[in-house]
Structure 1
Amino acid sequence: MLQLAAGLGALGSARAASASTWPSQPVRFICPFAAGGPTDVAARLVAEQLSGTLPQRVLVENRTGSGVVVGTEAVAKSTADGHTLLYSTIAHSVLRPLFPSLSFDPVADFQPVVLVGVVPMLLMINKDVPARDLQQLIAMYREKPNHYTYGSSGAGGAVHLATELFLQQAGNLKVNHIPYRGSAPAMPDLLNGNLSMFLNVASDGITSVQRGTTRALAVSSTQRLPQLPDVPTFAEAGLPSYEAYTWHMLFAPAGTPKEVVNQLNQAVNQVTRQPELLRRFTDLSIQARSDSTPASAAAWLQAEMAKWEPMVRAAGITAQ
């Protein structure tokens, strides 16, 4: 018993020492998305601000492949000391239905640290589509099943999920899906009429709506966007149950000392309150959640998984 007590005491001392000396080396954010994309840009903004407040630099490493699997797996199998973290999105909440043979568990192998922010989606249509509001668009799709097309930034991504949820809640509408490799290649097809609809992250659509090259019928958040005050929410447009976001969350490997997780949480919340970062987040349509705790981040993830996993299975969405 004395040996066991001594061992537990040593373990507790080691964890305390680890927490008090963290970070003892540069911290890495593994971003499982391509460099230059919206998630990468946000991760680098947070990392840059943290580098100015922590005693070590925070670096972003893009590690892509099999959707977000390669980068996520790397963090799941890394040392749980707070120096290797995952900066990911809604994609984490649908890993299980999209990739049933994962070598890691998206829940058991991770500790949510902080919900950095949420990003609403903007339903845009080609400017020549005759629908003037959301209800007219729904009626148009209902009248001609499988006649129209919508675009996404990739099968199983946030845009695809948000659109399928809209189609389900609007009465299981049948609209043909055309996946692209990212949002950028889809926009020209929306502009030239090859797509009737694109429910994209708001930051990628605001400019085209302001210029009048596309029209926006609804925004997926509970409040209107300050940049587009005339565009109603889905609830205001007649679909009260619809709400969807992509989101940004920082994860640590399971087993990371609680003290380190709390330090990380407080540091991220602190920098996301800074006016400069808030301004940059506004440009990306990211609504900062500067009061997130590890517990509330975990609850958010569980709620998102409960929402999206059944929808993915019901819609027959598969990874490509």
Structure 2
Amino acid sequence: MQRRSVLTLAAAGLALPAVGRAQAPWPSQPVRLVVPFAAGGPTDIPARLFAEELSKILPQRVVVENRTGAGVVVGSEVVAKAPKDGHTLLYNTIAHSVLRALFPRLPFDPVADFQPVALLGVIPMVLLVNKDLPARSLQDLVALYRANPGKYDYGSSGNGGAVHLATELFLARAGGLAVNHVPYRGSAAGMPDLLSGRLAMFMDVAAGGLPYHTRGDARALGVSADRRLAQAPEVPTFAEAGIQGAESYTWHMVLAPAGTPAPVVQAINAAFNQVAAQDNVRRRLTDLTMDLRSDTTPETATRWLMDEIAKWEATIRQAGIRVE
């Protein structure tokens, strides 16, 4: 019966005109959900949950295919050059919005070659400081950095990554603070230096950073969301601390090749929204501090992506960020 709940979308005009004279609904064959990140990582886990649940409500299976390399370029190129029939989709993150700024010679156009289908959810960042740092609030931290330009270091999970970008946006919105960037190969590699005092600050996705705060190993001074997190209601937002415009998220979005027929795009959107609204999915992804969206449209997903591209390209230019 669950499968029929999506298939009945055809009655609303969501049937796909196939090549030639035949008519075929979407999906008429297994769907490849390309994830341009390694298996088992923080992007792959939600993607596999969506694929599993979609396979229960659709007449065809949805299979995750991890295609890594050159950041997210290799996997994204697979989708950009795939048939425009909705059977090869991209599951990407904030990384899609910075491709043009960080990789001037791409084998595809991140905007022109893709159709955003659904914004699935957003995950905020948490700003952590070493527990012995003489800053008990974001206001204290800003004052400390302002009084000591260039003295302190912050870590990130990699040059040009979401953590690096979010931190640079925070520093810019807090008044152009001068803090040295130390990139690591992932957040887990940098956290020991935060705990030991080698680093003053490390911003991380909330699911990864909050446990350090909860255990008392580090202090969370702020979150990059527009409201406080249920998992740590004592931690204020950046805006509450007087730092406006520093909201940042790593987000999850499904994209199709540009030129995919609008009825197919609408059917894919409806299927993902249906899964995002399921209680079991919401429980599992809320544990990862993802704020799920189950009512976005291709149009709202497109606006979100374009806003993110504008924000992060400006941040990259201002901070002079380059990838090697």
Q: TM-score under structure 2 normalisation?
A: 0.92
Do structure 1's residue 288 and structure 2's residue 308 form an aligned pair?
Answer: no
Deviations 1:61-81 (A, max 9, x none): 111111111111111111111
Do structure 1's residue 164 and structure 2's residue 168 form an aligned pair?
Answer: yes
Percent identity over the alignment? 63
**In the superposition, relative to structure 1, how do residues 128 and 18 fare at CA in structure 2: closer, same or farther (>3 Å)?**
farther
Once residues 281 and 21 of structure 2 are traced to their aligned partners in structure 1, the CA distance between those partners, rounded to angstroms, is 32
SS at match of 1:25: coil
Q: Are the counterparts in 1 of residues 115 and 255 from structure 2 also a CA contact under 8 Å? A: yes
Do structure 1's residue 179 and structure 2's residue 190 form an aligned pair?
Answer: no
SS at match of 2:164: helix
Alignment of 1:83-102 (within 5 A): 83-102=87-106
1:255, distance to aligned residue in structure 2 (A): 1.1
Aligned residue type for 2:48: R
Please list every run of 5 or more consecutive structure 1 residues that lacks an aligned counterpart in the other structure: 1-11
Partner of 1:4: none
Q: Are the counterparts in 2 of residues 19 and 260 from structure 1 also a CA contact under 8 Å? A: no
Once residues 255 and 79 of structure 1 are traced to their aligned partners in structure 2, the CA distance between those partners, rounded to angstroms, is 9
**In the superposition, relative to structure 1, how do residues 231 and 224 fare at CA in structure 2: closer, same or farther (>3 Å)?**
same
Do structure 1's residue 106 and structure 2's residue 117 form an aligned pair?
Answer: no
SS at match of 1:250: strand
Deviations 1:63-119 (A, max 9, x none): 111111111111111111111111001111110010011121101000000000011
Partner of 1:75: 79
Q: Are the counterparts in 1 of residues 17 and 24 from structure 2 also a CA contact under 8 Å? A: no
Partner residue of 2:44 out of 37, 40, 46: 40
Once residues 28 and 182 of structure 1 are traced to their aligned partners in structure 2, the CA distance between those partners, rounded to angstroms, is 27
Partner of 1:301: 305
Once residues 303 and 47 of structure 2 are traced to their aligned partners in structure 1, the CA distance between those partners, rounded to angstroms, is 22
Q: CA RMSD in A?
A: 1.5
Alignment of 1:118-157 (within 5 A): 118-157=122-161
SS at match of 1:38: coil
Once residues 192 and 151 of structure 2 are traced to their aligned partners in structure 1, the CA distance between those partners, rounded to angstroms, is 20
**Paired residue total:** 309
Aligned residue type for 2:134: P
Q: Are the counterparts in 1 of residues 149 and 177 from structure 2 also a CA contact under 8 Å? A: yes
Do structure 1's residue 278 and structure 2's residue 308 form an aligned pair?
Answer: no
Between 1:186-195 and 1:268-277, the stretch displaced more is: 186-195
Once residues 199 and 41 of structure 2 are traced to their aligned partners in structure 1, the CA distance between those partners, rounded to angstroms, is 22
Between 1:201-210 and 1:183-192, the stretch displaced more is: 183-192
1:235, distance to aligned residue in structure 2 (A): 0.9
Partner of 1:8: none
1:19, distance to aligned residue in structure 2 (A): 7.3
Partner of 1:3: none
Partner of 2:32: 28
Q: Are the counterparts in 1 of residues 226 and 239 from structure 2 also a CA contact under 8 Å? A: yes
**In the superposition, relative to structure 1, how do residues 173 and 56 fare at CA in structure 2: closer, same or farther (>3 Å)?**
same
1:16, distance to aligned residue in structure 2 (A): 9.8
Deviations 1:171-200 (A, max 9, x none): 111111111112221222211112111111
Partner residue of 2:260 out of 238, 256, 263: 256
Partner of 2:62: 58
Deviations 1:216-275 (A, max 9, x none): 000111110001010001111121332111100000001111111111100100111111
Once residues 205 and 178 of structure 1 are traced to their aligned partners in structure 2, the CA distance between those partners, rounded to angstroms, is 17
Q: Are the counterparts in 2 of residues 19 and 259 from structure 1 also a CA contact under 8 Å? A: no
Deviations 1:35-70 (A, max 9, x none): 121111111111111111111111111111111111
Q: Are the counterparts in 2 of residues 223 and 233 from structure 1 also a CA contact under 8 Å? A: yes
Q: TM-score under structure 1 normalisation?
A: 0.93
Once residues 24 and 138 of structure 2 are traced to their aligned partners in structure 1, the CA distance between those partners, rounded to angstroms, is 54
1:13, distance to aligned residue in structure 2 (A): 4.6
